[in-house]
Amino acid sequence: MALARHLASEGQTVRVADRRPAADLQTALSQMPHGVELQLGGYDSTVLEGIDVVYASPGVPWDSDLLNEARAKGIEVSSEIGLFLKLNQGTVVGITGTNGKTTTTALTGAVLSAGDRPVIVGGNIGDTVLDRVDEITPEHWVVLELSSFQLESVEKPHLHVGVILNITPDHLDRHKTLEHYADLKARAIEDADYAVLNGRDPVVRGLAQRAAGQAAWFDEHQPLPPMPLPGRHNVENALAAAAVGRIAGLSDETINNAIRNFKGVEHRLELVGEWAGVRWYNDSKATNPDAGRVALNAFPGAPVILIAGGYGSGFELADWVTDVKANTEAVILIGASADELAQALREHPKVVRAQTLDEAVSTAAGLARQGSVVLLSPAYKSFDMFKDFEDRGNQFKELVRQRFAA
């Protein structure tokens, strides 16, 4: 949508192709600029006729037949983020990693906003930045969350600061090997003035030699920022944001105040509320087992009731299972992966199945006692039962609030 709007506003002739039929795209079509040619419900190579540039959505594999055919015909293949980086006049901080990107991006935006330069936050988080490219001046900081899909589409993203938080296996259905996935993440630092890296992560440590500019190890940052959100991982997210703040020339006091006042990001260990001494957390953004492990280790000593399960396959579960056994009092399984998880957790003393999220919330309420934490941290994607992870998290919050916040 953002690409179609931007290109049309520049006077370009635009063709939009999508596999989905018009009936599934009503909201998008209502916002489509006048004069855009639509090819909906599927397409083949004829869609390339008369085309100078192809802009691929992040969901389209970068080595798909159509994109390869475009390249073979000498047609430039780019992406929304690629176009944005070409047009942008601001100073870019790009943040990538398997887990923690969104929180760190929001934190970094908060830290830089405590300085005296204007800040825009975007990329894989929130609204598209291409819609705002005309308002960005050389005075702006631009903080971008960059997924592996986005980095794949920009061979040399020149960033002022490239941040790599951690690298664990994810999206291997698309990227095939951990090595290729890590190569894509490394693009954030291969042409950057500064690399902000996690020395505690062995894969990230191995990428440090690829940094074009000065490397800063955020795990060694002093003083330790005061992080108001639970979990060791959030301390690391804060350290990364603090390291960027220092590169920007902000004082430790300014950085620490910004971090201390940070309220967190929706769907990432988000406190829904506390009722009768029971805290309810929405961590719907945990869409793989490694993200789920992060949440499981965020509440040391608390009796945790975990709601987990969803869509996906091929995940390595051994470490997740170990953490579930060590950190939870009860597990409530939902979604397509429930059978597989029940088998993996057969030695856990309390595993319950729920057919719906509503049933899972009711079951959790029945099991919880004063001091308990009820944690929705699915460790799987959401597409079996929900539109996306935001829909899953919003439904969870609504069910919890309906139950308690009357």
34 is catalytic: no
Sign of CA dihedral 373, 379, 385, 389: positive
Task: Tokens 């943040």: give the residue.
Answer: 95
Backbone angles phi, psi at 105, to 5 degrees: -60, -45
* Whole-angstrom distance, CA of residue 182 vs CA of residue 20: 32
Which residues have a Cβ under 8 Å from the Cβ of 289 and sit 6 or more positions away? Answer: 315, 316, 317, 319, 320, 379, 380
Q: Which of 70-79, 102-111, 127-136, 350-359 has the lowest mean pLDDT?
A: 127-136
Q: What is the pLDDT of residues 86-103, one digit of tens each?
A: 999 999 999 999 888 988
Which token pair is 81?
Answer: 């983020």
Cβ neighbours around 340 below 10 Å, total: 16
Q: What is the pLDDT of residues 3-50, one digit of tens each?
A: 999 999 999 999 999 999 999 888 888 889 889 999 999 999 999 999
Question: What is the third-level CATH fold of 270-404?
Answer: Protein-Tyrosine Phosphatase; Chain A (3.90.190)
Given a contact cutoff of 8 angstroms between Cβ atoms, the answer to whether 282 and 361 are in contact is no
Q: What is the chain's Cα-based Rg?
A: 22
What residues does 53 pair with on adjacent strands?
76
Question: What is the third-level CATH fold of 2-78?
Answer: Rossmann fold (3.40.50)
Report the Cα 44 to chain-centroid distance in Å: 31
- Per-residue pLDDT band for 169 (boundaries 50, 70, 90) equals low
Residue of 6, 88, 99, 124 marked catalytic: 124
124 is catalytic: yes
Q: What residue spans of 101-177 are helical by DSSP H?
A: 101-113, 148-152, 172-175
Question: What is the third-level CATH fold of 82-260?
Answer: UDP-N-acetylmuramoyl-L-alanine:D-glutamate ligase (3.40.1190)
* Whole-angstrom distance, CA of residue 114 vs CA of residue 256: 10
Please name which of 254, 243, 223, 17 lies closest in space to residue 115, comparing C-alpha atoms.
254
Residue of 88, 99, 101, 267 marked catalytic: 101
- Sorted by where each begins, the domain ranges of the chain are 2-78, 82-260, 270-404
Given a contact cutoff of 8 angstroms between Cβ atoms, the answer to whether 144 and 92 are in contact is yes
Q: What is the pLDDT of residues 262-296, one digit of tens each?
A: 988 899 899 999 999 999 999 999 999 988 998 99
Helix (H), strand (E) at residue 330: strand 328-333
Task: Tokens 């941040």: give the residue.
Answer: 163
Residue-wise DSSP of 306-317: EEE--B------
Q: What is the pLDDT of residues 308-346, one digit of tens each?
A: 999 988 888 999 999 999 999 999 999 999 999 999 999
403 DSSP assignment: H
171 is catalytic: yes
Given a contact cutoff of 8 angstroms between Cβ atoms, the answer to whether 162 and 141 are in contact is no
Q: What is the pLDDT of residues 37-89, one digit of tens each?
A: 999 999 999 999 999 999 998 888 898 999 999 999 999 999 999 999 999 99
